[in-house]
């Protein structure tokens, strides 16, 4: 365990530099997004990124790790996630084998000191990020999926960048990781958690930005086709759909159009490829109906 002062040297020179660096790894960010990333680096505060699924929240953390040359550590949240899977647990099987292998009977104090040591500790993502000596980005993905009790486990990590292990003491970060928490707004997060974070809301991109994303991420696509694709996706999102198309699905659709060697998009093409954009039958039927009405 360590009591060293955390390393707090920043790596990002300016908001403009952040935006340019994100663009160099394929993530198209506006000034608002780049500004939050810059402040997170300078202030050493976690970023809570909320918004609909498929708006680039997870990719932002991955891109920040790539542009800074940092190690990415990801904690994928799910219902039932507990301390043993988020922080650490003891290798009980190995401990039992060590007890059985002892040729003599040591005192309990000696045995306890032996089996509750680093050798028997299984680190999980949160502890792994705290203990890392190299630049690290910690991604806590879909935090709104966990219960309030599990959410509380993060508070010590996010406020002090430390983890308490009763048998070993307190592990303090020697290098503060950049932390991104994502939420799809399926439930309200606690005020205590929000208070510790910078806040960033990410919605579906504006038309111009999504067109630029398509042009940058889809090799071989022409500007007119990228513009048409972005406009059609934007119109589909205005419908009352169970799951509007995400940016990732826009890119998949744009790649589909390139594979089909299309120069433009008509209603028949949209109807024939809706399954790439929409993933529920009722959504496909509703979108097809709207297209038919528009053709009438």
Strand, helix or coil for residue 278: coil
**178 CB-contact burial (10 Å; exposed 0-12 / middle 13-18 / buried 19+):** buried
Model pTM?
Answer: 0.84
Which of 92-101, 169-178, 281-290 has the weakest average pLDDT?
Answer: 92-101
Residue 10 has pLDDT above 80, yes or no: no
What is d(CA 247, CA 180) in angstroms, rounded to the nearest whole number? 20
Count other Cβ atoms within 10 Å, centred on residue 131: 18
Strand, helix or coil for residue 179: strand
Q: Supply the pLDDT for residue 126.
A: 92
User: What tens digit of pLDDT does each residue of 140-174 get?
Assistant: 999 999 988 888 888 878 888 888 888 888 888 88
Sheet strands (E) in 66-157: 71-76, 88-90, 121-123, 136-141
**Which helix (H) or strand (E) element contains residue 162?**
strand 162-165
What is d(CA 81, CA 8) in angstroms, rounded to the nearest whole number? 30
Which of 4-13, 93-102, 267-276, 285-294 has the weakest average pLDDT?
Answer: 4-13
Round the CA-based radius of gyration of the chain to a whole number and report it.
24
Q: How confident is the model at residue 105 (pLDDT cuts 50, 70, 90)?
A: low
**Which helix (H) or strand (E) element contains residue 198?**
strand 198-201
What is d(CA 151, CA 180) in angstroms, rounded to the nearest whole number? 14
Q: Supply the pLDDT for residue 261.
A: 92
Which of 4-13, 67-76, 207-216 has the weakest average pLDDT?
Answer: 4-13
Q: What is the mean pLDDT of residues 60-66?
A: 96
């Amino acid at each position: 365990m360590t009591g060293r002062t955390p390393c707090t040297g920043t790596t990002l020179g300016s908001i403009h530099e952040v935006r340019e660096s994100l663009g160099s790894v394929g993530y198209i960010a506006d000034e608002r997004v780049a500004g939050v990333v810059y402040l997170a680096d300078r202030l050493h505060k976690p970023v809570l990124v909320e918004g609909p699924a498929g708006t680039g929240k997870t990719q932002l953390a991955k891109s920040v790790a790539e542009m800074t040359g940092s190690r990415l550590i990801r904690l994928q949240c799910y219902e039932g996630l507990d301390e043993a899977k988020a922080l650490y647990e003891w290798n009980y099987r190995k401990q039992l084998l060590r007890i059985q292998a002892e040729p003599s009977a040591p005192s309990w104090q000696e045995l306890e000191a032996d089996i509750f040591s680093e050798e028997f500790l299984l680190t999980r993502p949160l502890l792994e990020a705290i203990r890392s000596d190299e630049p690290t980005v910690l991604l806590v993905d879909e935090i709104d999926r966990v219960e309030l009790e599990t959410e509380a486990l993060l508070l010590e990590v996010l406020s002090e960048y430390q983890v308490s292990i009763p048998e070993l003491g307190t592990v303090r970060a020697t290098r503060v990781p950049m932390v991104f928490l994502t939420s799809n707004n399926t439930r309200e997060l606690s005020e205590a958690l929000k208070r510790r974070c910078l806040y960033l809301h990410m919605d579906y991109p504006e038309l111009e930005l999504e067109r630029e994303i398509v042009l940058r991420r889809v090799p071989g696509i022409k500007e007119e086709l990228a513009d048409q694709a972005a406009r059609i996706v934007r119109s589909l999102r205005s419908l009352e759909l169970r799951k509007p198309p995400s940016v990732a699905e826009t890119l998949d659709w744009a790649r589909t159009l390139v594979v089909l060697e299309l120069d433009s998009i008509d209603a028949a093409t949209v109807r024939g490829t809706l399954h790439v954009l929409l993933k529920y039958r009722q959504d496909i039927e509703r979108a097809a109906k709207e297209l038919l009405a528009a053709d009438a």
